[in-house]
Amino acid sequence: MMQQVVKSKRAIVEGNMLADAHCHLELFQDPKTVAKDAAFGGVGVIITAGGSKASSVEAIKIADGKNIFAVIGIDPENAEKDSDFIDDIAAFIKSETKIVGIGEIGIDNKVITKKQFQIEAFEKQINIAIELDIPVVIHSRGALNETLDIIKRSGIKKVMFHFFEGDSEDAVKVAGLGFLISIPPVESSRRKRVIQSVGIESLVVETDSPVVGKSPLDVIKTAQWIAGIKGIGYDEVSAQMTKNVKNLFLI
């Protein structure tokens, strides 16, 4: 009897593979096992992100092009130290179909890296993404307006805001531009208002694990939270979250 219950639960989960739009698998001791456990638990698509030269190279190694896909790039913190890697990004992306975007990139007002280096690295990487027609994954901390200005000026259309830091008004603006808003596994009243203010076609869920979430499986809780806020079924949310990730990254 017990076994039957477990089996039917798994069948439900398998029908609705959820996607973790942003995590850092290379920071786990055993990334492959983490990904396997995630797939077994219902999270069958994982986008693992780099942010430095070393983490980007690791992300490429871990990606399998089936369940795990990589985005590579230099984040604001590493914008000066690893700036030379930016010139290699295009070649990496052209040689590996499992690399599906550039990220995480952006502006961070809480790191000590000089703004001039941050902006230069950010703009350079956006231009590479435009040239290759692939999406960018944005890291913005204390810098949403600055980040948005640079994005708008660049004309890039394929954009996902990782760990969205804005309020509901920002969310409406960002969704109106056709960009995706990624919700991390941290519930707050601000985030609730963000979720209320846009349609589920503008949302994705992420764990940023192991930095924030414990594992990619934490997206399930967030998808349930969204379903509750929206008053719709979990299956509908789950299907839409996965569809949004697949449409953006063309996987």
In the complex, the residues that contact Zn ion under the rule CB under 5 A are 208
Nearest approach in angstroms of CB 22 to Zn ion is: 6
Closer to Zn ion at the Cβ: 13 or 159? 159
Considering only the C-alpha atoms of the chain, give the largest distance between any 2 of them, rounded to a whole number of Å.
63
Nearest approach in angstroms of CB 75 to Zn ion is: 8
Closer to Zn ion at the Cβ: 20 or 208? 208
Round to whole Å and give the CA distance between 140 and 109.
8
Pairing mode, strands 18-23 and 43-49: parallel
Nearest approach in angstroms of CB 173 to Zn ion is: 22
Q: Sign of torsion, CA 115 117 121 124?
A: positive
Closer to Zn ion at the Cβ: 13 or 100? 100
Q: Which of 238, 247, 212 is nearest to 23 (CA)?
A: 212
Nearest approach in angstroms of CB 35 to Zn ion is: 16
Nearest approach in angstroms of CB 136 to Zn ion is: 13
Structure tokens at 128: 């590479």
Closer to Zn ion at the Cβ: 13 or 62? 62
Closer to Zn ion at the Cβ: 13 or 31? 31
The residue number whose beta carbon is nearest to Zn ion equals: 208
Bin 142: left if φ > 0, else alpha if -120 < ψ < 50, else beta.
left
Round to whole Å and give the CA distance between 131 and 206.
27
